[in-house]
Amino acid sequence: MDIIYLNDLRIDTVIGIYDWERQTKQTIILDIEMGTDIGKAARTDSIEDTINYKAVAKRLFTFVGESEFELVETLAEKIAEILLNEFKLPWCRLRLNKQGALRGVRDVGIIIERGRRD
């Protein structure tokens, strides 16, 4: 399996369980690996035969930017569902970083790996 990736995708969103977190947007950082087979795209040289990472980034900017989840776990699952279902990926790995969430800690977040269930 080949992997197309997006690293350091930064999106401002409302995320958190505390009142102060619900008042202002925070930046989350996404690193995404998307499993695919690039063979056909390499032969045809056509964007229609691969994962359009610009379309993925645009979709996530909209979804995450408009979301207001309390838990990073929920946000990560919803992002994985979008990747698998809307972009027809067989597999994805997502690292969601909520930088600055804890004093004295640079990075806090979650890493999930999901595959299609069909």
Summarize pLDDT for 42-65 with one digit per residue, the tens.
999 999 999 999 999 999 999 999
Both structure tokens of 99: 């930088």
CATH architecture of 2-115: 2-Layer Sandwich (3.30)
Domains of the chain, by residue range, sit at 2-115
**Residue 93 scores a pLDDT above 90:** yes
58 has catalytic annotation: no
Catalytic residue (one of 54, 78, 88, 98): 98
- The pTM is what? 0.93
- For 2-11, 63-72, 73-82, 99-108, which range has the lowest pLDDT when averaged over its residues? 99-108
**Residue 118 scores a pLDDT above 70:** no
